[in-house]
Amino acid sequence: MISDSHTIRSNGISATVKAAGAELCSLKNIRGLELLWQAGPEWPRHAPLLFPIVGRLKNDRLWHRGKAFPMTQHGFARDLRFDWLERGDDSCKLVLADSAESRARYPFAFRLTVTYALREACLDLGIEVANTGEEMLPASIGLHPAFNWPLLAGLGKEAYRLVFSSEEPAPIRRLKDGLLRPVPEPTPIVGKVLALSERLFDEDAVILDRPASRSVRYAADQGPAVEVSWNGFRELGIWSKPGGAPFVCIEPWHGFASPADFDGEFEGKPGLMQIAPAATRSLDCHIRIE
Q: What percent of the chain has pLDDT over 90?
A: 98
Query: What confidence score (pLDDT) does residue 57 get?
Result: 98
3-state secondary structure of 232: coil
Given a contact cutoff of 8 angstroms between Cβ atoms, the answer to whether 207 and 148 are in contact is: no
Q: Using CA of residue 21, residue 26, residue 29, residue 30, what is the dihedral sign? A: negative
Is the bond preceding residue 52 a cis peptide, omega within 30 degrees? yes
Given a contact cutoff of 8 angstroms between Cβ atoms, the answer to whether 180 and 55 are in contact is: yes
CATH number of 5-289: 2.70.98.10
Does an H or E element contain 103, and which? helix 100-103
> What is the tens place of the pLDDT at every residue in 232-283?
999 999 999 999 999 999 999 999 999 999 999 999 999 999 999 999 999 9
Between CA 16 and CA 23, with CA 20 as vertex, the angle to 5 degrees is 45
Distance of alpha carbon 72 from alpha carbon 79, whole angstroms: 11
Q: Residue 31: CB partners within 8 Å, gap ≥ 6?
A: none
Query: What confidence score (pLDDT) does residue 42 get?
Result: 96
Q: What is the mean pLDDT of the chain?
A: 97
| pLDDT surpassing 90 at residue 3 | no
Query: What confidence score (pLDDT) does residue 1 get?
Result: 42
Confidence of residue 2 (pLDDT cuts 50, 70, 90): low
